[in-house]
Amino acid sequence: MIVNEPVPDTFADTPARDRDPDWFKRAVFYEVLVRSFQDSNGDGIGDLKGLTAKLDYLQWLGVDCLWLPPFFKSPLRDGGYDVSDYTAVLPEFGDLADFVEFVDAAHQRGMRVIIDFVMNHTSDQHPWFQESRKDPDGPYGDYYVWADDDKQYQGARIIFVDTEASNWTYDPVRKQYYWHRFFSHQPDLNYENPAVQEEMISALKFWLDLGIDGFRLDAVPYLYQREGTNCENLPATHQFLKRVRKEIDTQYPDTVLLAEANQWPEDVVDYFGDFPSGGDECHMAFHFPVMPRIFMAVRRESRHPVSEILAKTPAIPSGCQWGIFLRNHDELTLEMVTDEERDYMWAEYAKDPRMRANIGIRRRLAPLLDNDRNQIELFTALLLSLPGSPILYYGDEIGMGDNIWLGDRDAVRTPMQWTPDRNAGFSSSDPGRLFLPTIMDPVYGYQVTNVEASMSSPSSLLHWTRRMIEIRKQNPAFGLGSYNELPSSNPAVLAFLREYEDDLVLCVHNFSRFAQPTELDL
């Protein structure tokens, strides 16, 4: 494996005249869970030092920006999305010095780093919540949303319908109900309280001062509540995000904010902010509805599910970009589909009830596609060519599998498979101490599916993915250009042009199992 020589300067040292405010539009993102990637000390848990040791691999692959889900101090009842300290690293992952070393090492290799920031809620073990429970009149008494009964905000949907009966939970200490849009152990913060807003902005700046390049803002549609609404996408939420953006733009140029707003496109575009100014809220937002429709299009052997959702997607401000993904650390969410489409997806991709979680499917890309190399290549080619910046999920580049016998979303969070050796080369610990077991089945097991084997085979999915990433990098039209779908005489064929200045790329994707003829109007 040959990598470029590390560059001496970090992005923070780049002169203003050489800065690239649109870097995120050209970037290939890679989501990597610290816990799952590499264990450096043999305790069976991935850590920051282990991740740092594997940066050369990610540089070789062609990754431009790493996205780290939460690594903060947490009781880990929801994979770290239940934060108990916004400015501390979970000790099993390392410490702040390890994190700074990781960020610097990534920057030296030309890679940026964004981290998850859970803005909507905390863990019920957070000191703020514990103080709020004990002392309603104290400084933290109003940090959360409390009520004497559970009758308010009845228009808000329950997100985790398979585990939560209500968005309110009674607290026997305070003898009141607290509001939570997710699990009952994740109480929502009260953004009506200016002190909460200051706490959040202070925490954001803490990590920016350590050199990171941006944030994925988790669950942003739910920050505020209003009676008589569904408590999503409220004007107050957008006003707060505008404030966050303004403060960050002023003090930390070239930082990117990526909104996780699992909504329809016409609602998500509001998270980009003011259109004439080029956007004054988040620089990026996930395009959730595209992803399940790619899966539908392949099963139906028709381009129309993808074509139709893209046609319904409004224009976005010039300074903004969609984030496109196939899989991530969560279930393959089916919230932004119709009931009929959801039933179809479950019937096609999750016949076994164990494959389902919440309103989605807890499987990785390769098993979803029956390990069909042609389909995996089609999906990846779409990911890299559709409008937006692609976000790869760790291990998908080698076709990693999943373990549906594990609870909840852990099915898709198993250790990265590096070699056919003990523990897949992930850890030197006793196998029984691993945070999750490695995949060991005949098709996706680490003895067969691993980075070492993929590196040694020029025809592997890994090498193919690297070549496709390089093609994207060679053509700025993919990150910066326009998207124009071409009429096709064959409904199984999706064809479009990506164009930017003198770079023009014709993309043709066949959703059928068989070779197809088509006529295109160029």
Q: Strands 332-333 and 321-325, how do they pair?
A: unpaired
Rounded to an integer, what is the distance from CA 392 to the centroid of its chain?
9
As a whole number of angstroms, the distance between CA 461 and CA 467 comes to 10
Sign of the CA dihedral with 507 first, then 509, 515, and 519 last:
negative
* Residue 198 is a catalytic residue: no
DSSP state of 437: P
Q: Write the CB contacts of 268 (distance below 8 Å, at least 6 apart in sequence).
A: 259, 261, 285, 286, 287, 288
- Residue 411: burial class (beta carbons within 10 Å; 0-12, 13-18, 19+): buried
Residue 106 and residue 66 in contact, taking contact as beta carbons nearer than 8 Å: yes
As a whole number of angstroms, the distance between CA 372 and CA 458 comes to 18
391, containing H or E segment: strand 389-393
Q: Write the CB contacts of 502 (distance below 8 Å, at least 6 apart in sequence).
A: none
Q: What are the backbone dihedrals phi and psi of residue 114, each rounded to the nearest 5 degrees, phi first?
A: -120, 155
Tokens found for residue 330:
């969560």
Tokens found for residue 63:
């990754």
Residue 259's SS3 state is strand
Candidate list 116, 218, 331, 396, residue with the active-site label: 218
Helix 290-300 and helix 339-349: axis angle, to 10°? 60
Tell me which residue has tokens 């040791």.
53
Tell me which residue has tokens 């005949």.
442
As a whole number of angstroms, the distance between CA 330 and CA 43 comes to 25
As a whole number of angstroms, the distance between CA 410 and CA 330 comes to 9
Candidate list 82, 213, 260, 331, residue with the active-site label: 260
As a whole number of angstroms, the distance between CA 142 and CA 144 comes to 5
* Residue 218 is a catalytic residue: yes
Catalytic residue numbers?
218, 260
